[in-house]
């Protein structure tokens, strides 16, 4: 494969990857981190372009973005240790990063779940991936995804029930809190 | 599965990226352009004039920080030249895959080969006193300008040490690594030189 050909093929697939990864990151982190991680994700995609599946590149690209985001968060936590003392005096409001959801109950229920469970649900509902595709993102078997996703849905329902709402009947109770 | 559907649609309604506007096309193409250029620039580059500095009694060899067959052509952008195995452009130093060295390849690739003893190592420059020329113009001393992490790909101890004997081959001013240069006592190396020249 010559390098011009490689560039052309990357240019062809990049817009879809950029669009999908931007959304993926907007759902999980703040704007500044999202911008950095998007560029980093593209670099990794370009460097490992030969490994990118030709038919369905997005789940693979999400997997790359996921790792890049984890790296960015790790390095931020390292920097954050310097601020620990300040935080002890003036603790930050939330522990988890990421955008606020317009649905408070759902947001509370999601944050009560284990990180892995919440991520499965996001990939399922927001990225609209099948269990097979989620398996590619996370690097586990489709069978494992299927079992864990089922449990995660159950746990989310349980959390919502605890909060006095039901996922099955939210139409009756819908309404955003002021 | 209607419970699932309800749960999914409730989650979807809360999707933080739902109202996101698509990226501006020019920003997207800038991103793509940056990406491809950043990686290319990281590929090993070489000093263009080193290859022409072959003085009468002093030959300069620039040891390339990558596999010799993959080195960029001087004065051209960094595109890999024909190589028998596929290697990513960015592969730095010893991450590049080396094919098993053969006398045939050494014979074809090397335009200069000699046996010598290291007399000095100063910074990144290694000076060798030539004891035998296998191929190329006769010379008394050879200076090797080491760039990058090339030392680890030398056979034997992995780097030039004063007082040690080495067999070194070069092509157009670039030292051949990947099992073609190294300590004279390294297994198979002198046999390789005898077979090739």
Judge if A152 and A81 occupy the same domain: no
> Does residue B174 carry a pLDDT above 80?
no
What is the structure's pLDDT at B178? 73
Judge if A89 and A4 occupy the same domain: yes
- B-chain residues within 8 Å CB-CB of A41? none
Q: Are strands B165-171 and B174-175 parallel, antiparallel or unpaired?
A: antiparallel
Among A158-167, B3-12, B13-22, whose mean pLDDT is lowest? A158-167
Average pLDDT, integer, range B73-94? 38
Judge if A71 and A154 occupy the same domain: no
The CATH number for A87's domain is 1.10.1740
Kindly report the nearest CA distance between residue B148 and chain A, in angstroms: 20
3-state secondary structure B31-48: HHHHHHHHHHHCCCCCCH
Average pLDDT, integer, range B28-45? 71
- Last residue within a domain, chosen from A99, A117, A142: A99
Judge if A33 and A7 occupy the same domain: yes
Q: How many CB atoms lie within 10 A of CB A46?
A: 22
Judge if A3 and A87 occupy the same domain: yes
Judge if A140 and A174 occupy the same domain: yes
State yes or no: ipTM above 0.90: no
Say if CB A68 and CB A43 are below 8 A apart. no
Consecutive H or E run containing B129:
strand B125-135
Q: Please, what's the largest Cα pairwise distance for chain A? A: 60
Judge if A92 and A159 occupy the same domain: no
- Last residue within a domain, chosen from A99, A131, A166: A99
Judge if A57 and A131 occupy the same domain: no
Say if CB B134 and CB B193 are below 8 A apart. yes
Which of B127, B122, B136, B137 has the alpha carbon at shortest distance from B166?
A: B127
| Secondary-structure breakdown of chain B: helix, strand, coil percentages, each rounded to the nearest 5 | 30, 25, 45
Average pLDDT, integer, range B52-80? 45
Judge if A107 and A173 occupy the same domain: yes
Judge if A129 and A94 occupy the same domain: no
- B-chain residues within 8 Å CB-CB of A42? 31-32, 35
Q: Do A126 and B79 touch (CB under 8 A)?
A: no
- Last residue within a domain, chosen from A99, A124, A151: A99
Average pLDDT, integer, range B18-26? 86
- Top-level CATH class of B48-196? mainly beta
The CATH number for A173's domain is 1.10.10.10
Judge if A92 and A149 occupy the same domain: no
B152-187 burial, b for 16+ CB within 10 Å, e for fewer?
Answer: ebbbbeebbeeebbbbbbbbbbbbbbbbbbbbbebe
Measured over the CA atoms of residue B16, residue B18, residue B19 and residue B25, the dihedral's sign is positive
Query: Domain containing A15: what range?
Result: 1-99
Number of domains in chain A: 2
Bridge partners of B113, per DSSP, are B135, B169
> Does residue B85 carry a pLDDT above 50?
no
What is the structure's pLDDT at A86? 59
Among B32, B39, B70, B89, pick the best mutation site for testing chain A contact (most A Cβ within 10 A): B32
């Amino acid at each position: 494969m010559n390098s011009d050909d490689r560039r052309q093929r990357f240019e062809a697939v990049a817009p879809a990857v950029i669009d999908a990864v931007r959304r993926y990151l907007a759902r999980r982190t703040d704007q500044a981190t999202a911008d950095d991680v998007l560029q980093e994700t593209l670099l990794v995609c370009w460097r490992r372009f030969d490994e990118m599946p030709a038919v369905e590149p997005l789940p693979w690209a999400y997997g790359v973005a996921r790792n890049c985001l984890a790296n960015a968060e790790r390095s931020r936590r390292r920097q954050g240790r310097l601020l620990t003392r300040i935080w002890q005096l003036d603790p930050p409001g939330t522990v988890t990063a990421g955008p606020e959801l317009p649905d408070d109950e759902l947001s509370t229920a999601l944050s009560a779940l284990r990180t892995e469970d919440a991520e499965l649900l996001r990939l399922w509902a927001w990225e609209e991936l099948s269990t097979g595709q989620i398996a590619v993102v996370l690097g586990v078997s489709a069978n494992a995804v299927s079992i864990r996703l089922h449990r995660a849905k159950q746990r989310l329902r349980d959390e919502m029930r605890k909060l006095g709402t039901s996922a099955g009947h939210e139409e009756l109770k819908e309404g955003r809190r002021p | 599965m209607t419970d699932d559907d309800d749960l999914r649609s409730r989650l979807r309604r809360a999707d933080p990226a739902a109202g996101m506007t698509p990226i501006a096309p020019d920003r997207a193409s800038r991103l793509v352009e940056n990406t491809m250029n950043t990686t290319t620039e990281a590929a090993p580059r070489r000093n263009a004039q080193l290859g022409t500095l072959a003085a009468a009694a002093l030959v300069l060899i620039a040891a390339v920080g990558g596999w010799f067959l993959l080195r960029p052509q001087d004065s051209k952008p960094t595109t890999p030249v024909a190589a028998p195995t596929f290697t990513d452009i960015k592969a730095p130093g010893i991450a590049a895959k080396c094919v098993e060295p053969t006398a045939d390849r050494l014979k074809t690739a090397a335009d200069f080969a000699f046996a010598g003893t290291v007399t000095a190592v100063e910074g990144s420059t290694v000076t060798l006193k030539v004891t035998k020329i296998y191929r190329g113009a006769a010379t008394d001393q050879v200076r090797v300008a080491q760039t990058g992490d090339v030392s680890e790909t030398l056979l034997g101890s992995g780097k030039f040490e004063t007082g040690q004997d080495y067999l070194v081959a070069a092509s157009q001013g670039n030292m051949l690594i990947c099992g073609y240069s190294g300590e004279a006592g390294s297994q198979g190396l002198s046999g390789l030189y005898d077979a090739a020249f």
